[in-house]
Chain A
Amino acid sequence: DAGITQSPRHKVTETGTPVTLRCHQTENHRYMYWYRQDPGHGLRLIHYSYGVKDTDKGEVSDGYSVSRSKTEDFLLTLESATSSQTSVYFCAISAGPSTDTQYFGPGTRLTVL
């Protein structure tokens, strides 16, 4: 399995609090992605990164920000969590964008009360 870890794996927080999820990889892959998965919606891309300090928005980026200061770490921040952001969050990595396989992390289950 690709070396991808996510932390925390589970988190419960309250509405209005900031939350940061971390994705760490040991594969030295250039591309990193954050997805959320909700019942009835499959996986939806939030943000992605194509290099250190290079990021762009996905289809559901509102309410989320990301940062990538090192190749191995990609952080997802919810500045002020809302109940609609209760979801399972997956990080993924790939060596290149084209048809390269994306490898997914184990996921973080976030509950916003």
Chain B
Amino acid sequence: LAKTTQPISMDSYEGQEVNITCSHNNIATNDYITWYQQFPSQGPRFIIQGYKTKVTNEVASLFIPADRKSSTLSLPRVSLSDTAVYYCLVVPVGSGNTGKLIFGQGTTLQVKP
């Protein structure tokens, strides 16, 4: 499984846009990029997933450049409730994939008033 690298922590203020970048230099052709969010005392929750270019849903946007060696999770106009740990994962597709996920330490986002 490809290793990911992301900042350990970030601070922001309410109303700002937050961009968290993840590096995955060894990503394989059949890998998808997936982000999870974890609030304190809760299990992780799926946010968004993409393969290339841009994906947007009601929670976030995911930007993936052509070489796919990095990705950026964008959270528009954050609020205090967006304070959480954000995990970037690379997930292989295919019959050999058992669903094993490597979470890493994630990025702790602290949103301040």
Contact = CB atoms under 8 A, between A and B. Distances in A.
Interface residues of B, number: 22
B41 interface: yes
Contacts of A103: 46
A81 interface: no
For the residues of B in contact with A, the DSSP-based class is loop
Contacts, number: 59
A106 B43 contact: yes
B103 A97 contact: no
Interface in B80-105: 87, 91, 93-94, 97-101, 103-105
A53 B72 CA distance: 39
B45 interface: yes
B49 interface: yes
User: Ordered nearest first, which 10 A-B pairs have the shortest CB separation?
Assistant: A104-B43, A97-B99, A43-B103, A42-B103, A101-B46, A42-B105, A90-B43, A99-B32, A97-B97, A42-B104
Interface of A: 31, 33, 35, 40-45, 48, 50, 56, 58, 90, 92, 94, 96-107
7 contacts: A31-B99, A43-B101, A43-B103, A44-B103, A48-B100, A50-B99, A97-B98
